[in-house]
Every structure is written in C-alpha cells, then in structure tokens.
Structure 1
Amino acid sequence: MNASLPLLPGATDASGRPATLGVMGGGQLGRMFVQAAQAMGFSTAVLDPDADSPAGLISHHHIRCAYDDPKGLAQLARCSDAITTEFENVPAPALASLAALRPVAPGAASVAIAQDRAAEKAHFERCAADNDGVRPAPHASIDSPEQLAAVAAELLPGILKTARLGYDGKGQARVKDRAELAAAWDRLGRVPCVLERLLPLRAECSVIVARGADDQCVSFPVQKNTHRDGILAVTEVYDGAIDPALARRAQAATMAIARQLGYVGVLCVEYFLVDDGRGGLDLVVNEMAPRPHNSGHYTQNACDVSQFEAQVRAVAGLPLRAPVQHSPAIMLNLLGDLWFAPNARHAQASDTPVTPPWDEVLALPGTHLHLYGKASARPGRKMGHLNITGPTVAAVRDTAAKALALLGLPPL
C-alpha cells in the first residue's frame, strides 16, 4: 500500500496488507476513532506508551513507546497509510517526522499553534477579518517580569492561563488585581502565560468542523456546553439551545479558522457567549482543539455521520458530507466521581468504586451508554459519556433529568 490518497476501505496492497489508519495517542478519543475506522473496513494502528490504553486494547496494532521515540514512529509509519492524532499535546516534531513518510492530518504546524495559547490567540486575531469580526478576549502574553509589570489595567480582573499544557481548568487562576496576578504567576512557576480579561459570560458553545485536503469543509451543529470545575459536564444540541444567528456566525468563524490554518481533519473551536452591552449576546472565540472533542460525542447517536467517522474520512481523503442531525440530543460526561458518590441505588458515598446503576439509566428511552474501557475509576477521570436522544426537545430534557437524578448528578 502506498501513501497516496484516497484510501479505500477494505483495500489491500500486493502483499495483502489492508489499508491502515494510524493514530498518535491511545485514549478514549483514539478508541472511538479506531472503532469508527474499523467499522468502515480499515485496519488500525495506535502509538501509545500505556499497555492498557483504551485505543491500544482494541486496535490491530499497538506500538507501545514514547510519542517521540524514533523507532516507534518509524514502526507506525511502516504499518500505516495515513496518520492522525487524538490529543493536542502530542509532540509537533513527531508529527512532522511522520509527515515526511505518510500523510498526516492534522499537520504539525496546526497542532503547534493549538499547543500555545499565545500563538492560538494570534491566529484568531488574524482570522477576524474573515470570520465576521469574532475575536478572542482582550489579552496579553506574560513571559517575563517586565511584561508582568506592563499589563494594562483594563485586563483586570482577569484569568491567568499557562500558555502550554493547560486543560480541563488546570493551569489557570482568576486574579482581581496586580498583587493577585503576581502571586498567581509565581504559583504557576513563572512559565509563559496569557492573561485574559474576565468577561460577562452568559453561556459557552463549541463548533466542530471537518476539512479535507481538497478544501471541502463541513460543519456539525453548534453545541451548547455547561462546565463544572473547568470540566465539560453537559452538552445540549437542539433547536433553541443557541440563537440561530449566533450559531451561523460561530460555524462561519470556525470554518475560517480551519481554512486559514490549512487544517485537515476534525477541529473543534470553543466560544464564549457574552453580554454585548446592548442587551444582546456576542461571540468571543476561546480556544481550539485539533481533534474530535467531548462536546461532539452526541454525534454518535444523533447525527447521520459522527465526528469520528468525519475524522476517518478526512484522514483517508474520502469525501466529506455535511452532517445531518436527526434527533435532539443531550450528552452527559461521566467522570470517575460517579463510582464513589451517592446515587439512586446507594445512598452513601463509598471509599471504593461501586458500579453506577446503568441498568436503571438504560431503561430510560433514548439513552446510549459509551464507556471507554478504562481499568479503574478515580475522581476526575473521564470514564465515559451518556448520549440521550428523542423525538422532541421536551422528551430529551425529561430523560436527561431522570438520568441525572439516578446518577446523583446536578440537574440541568
């Protein structure tokens, strides 16, 4: 099999080797990519150092090594015809070295920008002319004591975020004044950071697009997201969840961001909905993830093409189709806390993990449970998600309320 695209599902080379898609990373996003690729007839290969990684456990090939191991990367290239990534912190140089041998999507340059908040915000600013003026929050980079001292007063109160490696609320601190800002920068180790002005946040949303090397770009519906403790808790996708005009702007902005990156693959961009000062709402672009996203998990059961099938299509160079959502949907993120907290079956919290009442949850109409195959539950660990679909918004919200109560989670 050569490295030319498109790769046809089920095709083999002269030696009988099947078309194979490789993925850097063996977490739950890699697992769902592997499942989608295998369902379409592809063989799969995963590079991840963890012998029990969710994706590695179900893949045809599991290369167990560090993400920057030259021998492991060479092995992944040998057994793959095209390669993608399932998390944004994979070393960009590793993707660049793979790209010299095989098609890689997304490319190293796009991933490198997503790994650095300052570079990411600079890209968003460059895109503003093409995305109806959707910009990031006012911000400043802080790399030195001099830049710390030069922070404009208008950026306070604000949120200080590490430029690299922050996720799920980690590497962040709210600061009210210069003294708190200086103290927070010290606590974060004086690493490069970005200070963002605190905005009058009303809601959060995200958009997932898929773009091919031929510039074909399609968008999923806009997702309304609720976070708790910095971690996505609930995604709602149905008519009325987001104002239609704002939804169209968010989709157009996301496509512009992808196109200006020359991006290939699945990209998620997150937005804040903020007061515009005139009684309405405005969009502020927050950050992007160069991969499928938690907020897009509902697509597995509510759309005719999931975000993972779209990723397979983009990586393999296959045609992209505009996804159609056929059912209102709510997605509940399932953290390891559920295994220790009180629920409908166990009135008391437990020091040891107790399986949640999945039988009662699955007795509810339109529930679809997705667990990630992780060996043990622990607080804060993403263990799975529950998709809820139904014929009407009211039906989906009613089922979601019942599922949340059974699991001992806060109501919508």
Structure 2
Amino acid sequence: MTAEIGFVLALLLVMLFCLMKEVARPDYIVAAALLVLLLSGIITPAQAARGFTNEGMWTVALLFIVAGAVQKSPLLHQFVLRGLGSGKGPKRSILRMMFPVAGMSAFMNNTPIVVIFTPIIRRWCEERNISPSKFLMPLSYAAIFGGTLTLIGTSTNLIVHGFMLDRGMTGFSMFQLAAVGLPATILGVLYMSTIGYRLMPDHGVWKKTLPKETVPKDMEMHWYSYRSIAVILVLAGMILLAAFQIVSMLQAAAGAVLVLLVTGLIGWKSAPRFIQFDVLLLIACAIGIGAAMEQSGAASLLAGGLISSSSIFGIIGALAAVYLMTALFTELITNNAAAVMMFPIAYAAAVQLGQDPMGFFVAVAIAASASFSTPIGYQTNFIIYRPGGYRFADYVKVGLPLNMMYFIVTVSMVSWLWLET
C-alpha cells in the first residue's frame, strides 16, 4: 500500500465517521473531504470539478423541477386515496396503496411523495380508527421499491448512470433496472401486506399529533383539471422520449422543464425552489471523491481485497460482497454517498474478474436504494420516523427481512442476466 492510498483510505474513514455521527450536513462533510483531496494534490482541479459537469447530476437537478410540478397535481392524491379504499381490510388497503405509490415513485422523486402523503394517510387512518404506524412504514418502503424500477426512480440510479457515461459506457436504459426491481417490488409488497403487517407496531390513534398546519400547502391548492392533465402528459412525454432513446435522459428532462416553464404550468420564480441544492452538492463532490479512489489506486486495492475474501464463492461471491458492502454503507451513511464510494470498487472488481461491469453496477444501484432496516439510511424512512411513532428496533424487525429479500433477488437476477459463471 502506497502512502497516497493510505491517505485516501484514512480520509474516507474520517468522512464515514463524520457522516455516521452527523457532525455536519452530509453535503458539507463530503465537500470538505473533496477540498482536502484537492489541496493535498491527490486529484487535480479538473478531477475535483468533474462532478459539477456530470450528466447524471444535471439530470437530477432538472427532475427536481419536473417532480415539483407533478406533485402539485390532485390527480395523484385521488389515485392513492381511491387505492386505500374504505379501510375495512387493512392488509388489503396496504396492498392497494403500495402499488400506486411504487408506480409514482418510479417516475418521481420519492421524498416529496412521502412528504405529501404522510399527513394524508395519517388522517385517513385516524378517521377509521386505524394505527398510522401500520401504514406509514409501507408508504416509505413503497417509495423505495418504486425507485428501483426505472432509471429516473431515484437520484442514486442517475449517479451510477452518469458514472457509466463518463467512462464512455452505455448507461442504464429507462427500464433496465426493472429486471431486478420488479420481482423484488412484488415480493416486497406481498411481504408488507402479510408478514410485515404483523411485525409492524400498533401504536393506536393519537389525533393530536397531526396539527392542521402540518398539511403541505400544495395539498390546499386546486388546479384546474386541464393543468393537472397537462403536467401528467409532459411527464409521460419525457418518459417516452427517454425510454425509446429518441433523446438522452438529460435532454428529455430539459425539454420537459422548458415546456413546463413556457406554458406556465410552473412559474419561473418557483421552479428553483423545488431543487434540492444540498443533494446536488453532495453528488457533485462525491463524484470527485470517487475519482480520487480510482486515481490513487484505493479502489483497486479494496476490490482486490473484496475478491480475495469472497474467492471461495467465486464470481457470485464477489457480486454478493459488492452488494452487501453497498447496502451496509447505505444504512450507515446515505444512499448517494454509498453509490459513489462503491462504483469504482465494483468497476475494478468486474474488470479483475473479466466480467461485464453492468451486472455489478446494477447491484450497486439496487443495494444503495434498498435501505429498510434503519431510519437514517434513506430520507423517506426518517420522514415517517416520528409521525409513525416508530423506534429504531421497529425498522430492524420489519426491514431486515426486506434487506435479505432484495439481496437474494438481486444476486440471483444479476447472475442470470449479466454474469458469465
């Protein structure tokens, strides 16, 4: 191990520790780590700035605006409420809620979905004397499920996609991840409406916990129906253009934003408010850290150790190790940071094993999104933490079987579709 590799690995450990202890905002921590790498000469200014020109990062920024327009549509709210039904059969209502939410999350940012529907579902539960704790965890998990179905389902997928494009590779197609995400989603929804329902806590109904002012202002807005339909049509057009590869995902998103602005479906002043700049900063800086891992040789060293430790199980063992390491990072830090850290390791592992890297990239994307067993690994889990009255142990009890389910499905499908064993 060279001094340069040792320095990079030590810095990564410090960064991980700071992220776990939440000593500052995640984007500030990652930005500080990137600055240290730049000042130390590990990476050049061009490499440090690579993330700010990354296609995936800009796509995420544009999709925030598209999602901001879509989430204001009352059509989506009615879609989910109709799915919930009367509530006479809670397990059936969970089943009917999770599939629509997963479907929406496949094409929208999942955080606003959970933010919007948390107060709606809580009120629905209270009106029927049903414990919200039985429905809010399925809401968060359904949003996570949906993120594994499409390229635009979550920013994590777009980060991995952007990394692939940077290397001159063909990125993910619109529905490529669904080969793994769809069977995992179906199994996950069935689990949550049966075994998971029994494992979830029942904290009863506590109506005082939902003051009126907590309902998002967007819910009080009543758009004309033609505006709601127009926004949905713009979203559909964007998806179709990218799905049939008529234009790139970045171009499709840019076109959708332009149409929304020109037609007045979203205001020029309000559009930037939907952009989560902290997420963009984290993505851009984390990409520079990924470059440092490759430049220094740290990624190759870690990949070699990973392959050696799992050599008894062959190629599938290496794939499983990549998945488990990514999943562990996701539960401890953030999904985007986990994907950025594991991408160069997964790429180096695939190259050393003589395999198509695509399968390893799919594993990283899925593992970085499939965070179920802690409230801190994924933002949607944290959003429903207090409203649902959950404890940390509740996530472990309900989420750990889901983690194992996604692990088995991902390793099995990737081995079948992409690996040469």
TM-score, L = length of structure 1: 0.26
Q: Which structure is higher in strand share?
A: 1
Q: State the structure with bigger RCO (CA 8 A, min sep 6), 1 or 2.
A: 2
Q: Which structure is higher in helix share?
A: 2
